[in-house]
Structure 1
Amino acid sequence: MPSLPPMPSFRGPGRATHPRPRIPVPTARAIVDCGVYVDGTRTPGHFTPEQALSEARKTEAGFVWVGLHDPDESQMNEIARIFDLHPLAVEDVVHGRQRPKLERYDDTLFLVMRTVSYIEHDIHAISEIVETGDIMVFTGPHFAITVRHGEHTGLAGVRRELEGNPDQLRLGPCAVLHAVADHVVDSYVEVSESVEEDIDEMEEAVFTPSSKIGIGSIFQLKREVVELRRAVGPLGLPLQQLVHNQDLPLPKEIRRYLRDVADHHTSVSEHITYFDESLSALVNAALAKISVQQNTDMRKISAYAAMAAVPTMIAGVYGMNFDHMWELHQVWAYPAVLMLMAGLCALLFRSFRRNKWL
């Protein structure tokens, strides 16, 4: 993926000449940033979404990028009124937790992506290692709207990188769609690398004789990999549609960039499939290890039971209180029987040790 130069600074005397307009309070709480871009450069000043759209429409190459975080229904309805968004797409944004998908409403594209974040943890006490959220992107002739649910995978860095690359921004709102998709797939790569390290550590623990790693930890890690696969896998189809569907309103150059994003996504999906197979093999290995340990324990128990059976049998015979028994009234009979018991037990112990039962 291409590296981008840092964002140029727009601070200066010109900013003081643009007073901050009043934004309706309900909508303002959800807006992270709202900028107007003309010919790849951000227009100085602060705008409400309605003012920004009006400013962007003054030129052919202008567009507005509105960033929202966890908007509620009233806030999204206000944005939908300004940008003429379809009610079905607005409903998906408000409810969140949508499956990754791409929808088209006339000249507006609506892309839903799941975001993932890695949570540091102890390999012996795994609770949750993958946190998920949503990022949704609207693109139209003069606007790009990004909606983020969750506290991770922020887009401030994406905006800075794009503002530092005017050539990319000149491609219009679809440049925002590509940048956000690229950012999301990059986060998939980072999380998958961290999960791979966990699996390697888990594999080493399973095959270490003295390790006390529980099979429950393996199952929990497998469950987290399933959660990761559910978030990452379904995005493949929307990315392929963006790359190959010529009917979608996307510049040719953006399709080329999205092809690279789709390739990275395919690579991550293949790694996650490998993770699932590796953890299934680890479960089988852990079960086999437990089975071997149980067999070893049973052999030890059986050996000790056999050694205990010999003196028990002899003592039982001499405890039947018959008068006519072998050497019953001899002085040396009692210590002789004890020595016989000890000798037989020692013989059995030596035999079991030789056969590695003890």
Structure 2
Amino acid sequence: MPGVIVDCALYRDGRRAADPADISDAVEQARRSGDAFLWIGLYEPTEEEFSEVTGEFGLHPLAVEDALSAHQRPKLEVYDDSLFLVLKPTRYEEGGATLVTGELMVFVGDCFVVTVRHGAANPLGAVRARLEQSPEVLRHGPTAVLYAVADAVVDHYLEVADALHTDLDALEAEVFTPDGAGASGSASRIYAFKRKVLEFRRATAPLTEPMARLASGTVPFVHPPSQPFFRDVSDHLTRTNEHVEGLDRLLSDILAAHLAQVGVRQNDDMRKISAWAAMVAVPTMVAGVYGMNFDHMPELHQPWGYPAALTVMVGSIVVLYRMFKRRGWL
């Protein structure tokens, strides 16, 4: 269990007390005190490792199952003894290679907060450190932790959205350069980027309804005075979702424009091929007619027949070339 617990601390009057040696004693102290709460952070616990915490706080079995399976969409569930919030933190790898998505489950009760993290994206270390430097915020108890965690995740969404937009501008410039407009692989790069935006949207869009409920001030275990703070988080989330929708629309437009540009380029190539084929076809026809070995053919036995045939061939090629050039086919 110690390897699974990232951090475990008892906070009294907004300040961190001595780290508890036993979770049961810490929970009892927090409930007796009235101004204290316990915050336990876990990383990818197994069912056996999580059972101790489950028993101490009386967490609902359905919420425990969701926290262990770690393949949940963002949601907010209210149970008799706790509140259960699922978040999906994201991290955009440097260079735009990968969008890393983790999962973060937050259990909030009257005197405890339990966070369960899955995946590499982790905003909690900085959140805990920042809260411990602000005892006036921590005095608000588990509600303060819930707000700080949600605020950190959503604020990072804005950073990821900005990074995606920057990379999309670079991709757009690359696709529409004269050399890159018809380059093979442009459509696949656009589609791969669209997949990143879709994955990011799966993290942000479903969180809208839970944040709206927390901002309403009617959710148990959340103090009504915190309503403006959760409303601020909800506003930031709305901005992120609008940003993501804009990225998705722009990607669709870029893909459509790129495919249209490829089609135009292919039409240009076909016109050029057709023009050259026409210029080759006329002399081929003349040569074919005069190569049929019949005795009675005009100009067959004339001394000027051969140069006349060559003149017709060259002349037809010159006429066709000038005509196609004037029309822009060559």
Which residue is equivalent to 1:33?
Answer: 7
Instruction: Look up the match of 2:210.
Output: 238
Residue from 216, 224, 227 that aligns with 2:199: 227
Output the amino acid matched with 2:117.
R
SS of 2:88 mapped into structure 1: strand
> C-alpha separation between the residues in 1 aligned to 2:305 and 2:217?
100
Does the aligned pair in 2 maintain the 1:30–1:71 contact within 8 Å?
Answer: yes
- Secondary structure at 2:102 match in 1: strand
For residue 264 of structure 1, give the secondary structure of its aligned residue in structure 2.
Answer: helix
Structure 1 segment 1-358 matched on structure 2, within 5 A? 27-121=1-95, 129-211=98-180, 212=183, 214-358=186-330
**Cα distance, 1:96 vs. partner?**
0.8
After alignment, is 216-225 or 201-210 more displaced?
201-210
> For residues 33 and 240 of structure 1, what CA distance do their matches in structure 2 show?
30
Check 1:247–1:295 CA distance in 2 against 1; reply closer, same or farther (3 A cut).
closer
Secondary structure (helix, strand or coil) at the match of 1:136 reads: strand
Q: How far did residue 293 of structure 1 move? A: 0.7
- Distance (Å, rounded) in 2 between the aligned partners of 1:232 and 1:328: 83
Q: What is the root-mean-square deviation in Å for CA atoms of aligned residues?
A: 1.5
1:48 Cα deviation from its structure 2 partner: 3.4
Q: Which residue of 2 aligns with 1:24?
A: none
Supply the AA of the counterpart residue of 2:191: F
Deviation at 1:276, TM superposition (A): 1.0
The alpha carbon displacement at 1:55 in A equals: 3.0
Report Cα offsets for 1:167-193 as digits up to 9, x if no partner.
Answer: 100000111100100111011111111
> For residues 352 and 304 of structure 1, what CA distance do their matches in structure 2 show?
9
Contact kept in structure 2, 1:97 and 1:133, CA below 8 Å: no
- 2: CA distance between counterparts of 1:112 and 1:101? 5
1:87-110, Cα deviation, whole Å (9 max, x unpaired): 111111010111111111124111
Q: Distance in 2 between matches of 1:206 and 1:236?
A: 34
* Amino acid aligned to 2:16: R
Give the whole-Å Cα distance in 2 for the aligned partners of 1:334 and 1:247. Answer: 99
Retained in 2: the 8 A contact 1:137–1:146?
A: yes
Q: CA deviation at 1:205?
A: 2.3
Query: Is 1:206–1:285's contact at 8 Å kept on the other side of the alignment?
Result: no
Once the two structures are superposed, residues 133-181 of structure 1 have per-residue CA deviations (whole angstroms, 9 ceiling, x without a partner) of 1101111111111111001224111000000000100000111100100
Q: For 1:65, what is the secondary structure of its paired residue?
A: strand
Residue 343 of structure 1 and its aligned partner are, at CA, apart by 1.8
Is the 8 Å Cα contact of residues 8 and 19 (structure 2) preserved in structure 1?
no
Q: One-letter code of the match for 2:70?
A: G
Q: Which has the higher helix share?
A: 2
Cα drift, residue 247 of structure 1: 4.8
Q: Distance in 2 between matches of 1:44 and 1:289?
A: 66
Matches of 2:95 and 2:36, distance apart in 1? 46
Which runs of 5 or more structure 2 residues have no equivalent in the other structure? Answer: none
Q: CA deviation at 1:257?
A: 1.0
Deviations 1:181-234 (A, max 9, x none): 011101111111111112212222232222136111111111211111111100
State the distance in 1 between where 2:314 and 2:329 align: 19
> One-letter code of the match for 1:297?
D
Distance 1:207 1:48 in 2: 62
Match of 1:3 in 2: none
SS of the counterpart of 2:83? strand
Counterparts of 1:272 and 1:305, CA distance in 2: 49
Provide the rounded CA distance (Å) in 2 between the counterparts of 1:324 and 1:120: 80
Q: Distance in 2 between matches of 1:38 and 1:333?
A: 112
